[in-house]
Amino acid sequence: MDTGTERPVPLWAERAVRLLPLLALPVCLWRLPIGFDYLMGMDVEPTSLARWASVAYVGTLSLLTESAALLCRGLVRPWGEVVPRWVPRIGGRRIPPLAVVVPAGLGGLFLTWLLVDWALCVFQVAGFAPVPYTSVWWKVLAEVVSGLFVLWGPLVLAVTYAYHRRRRTVS
């Protein structure tokens, strides 16, 4: 697929990057009612935060999650290789590959660790305390949403590796 990058982007990497925001969206939508103390079938005490703080926290977390997923598009787009011309003082400069690979790789590793740890809680594995739900359907929905979200970190790592391979021999 021709995206205007220095070297061709593998089709699988392009598709994976398009998938990232869609993997994050269900969990972002799942969080929003929780900010308003609707616990999505979880049989737990509501947060002790003030309503505005809870809504602000959940809304900000959801916006940051989707922003991070969309930012991964730089791994398959020209603006991930060369600073756009409209950026003052540095526009048009080539971005060193490690300046992208290191933060994206660390982000992918962090997401993998965080999301697998979170999924262990949701799926009640490895001795984690189970999350009680008011019905089996709420539990299934939580597991589907969480299961999809767990793919985010490994996909970021895979696309980062593709970026690294594509840019490593270009001088």
Residue 136's pLDDT band, with cuts at 50, 70 and 90, is confident
Q: What is the pLDDT of residues 15-56, one digit of tens each?
A: 999 999 999 999 889 888 888 888 788 777 766 667 778 888
Predicted local distance difference test score (pLDDT) of residue 124: 60
Q: What sign for the dihedral angle of Cα 156, 157, 161, 167? A: positive
- Max Cα-Cα span within the chain: 58
Q: Kindly report the average pLDDT of the chain as a whole number.
A: 85
| CA nearest neighbour of 37 among 50, 24, 21 | 50
Q: How confident is the model at residue 10 (pLDDT cuts 50, 70, 90)?
A: very high
Express each pLDDT in 48-93 by its tens digit.
667 778 888 889 999 999 999 999 999 999 999 999 999 999 989 9
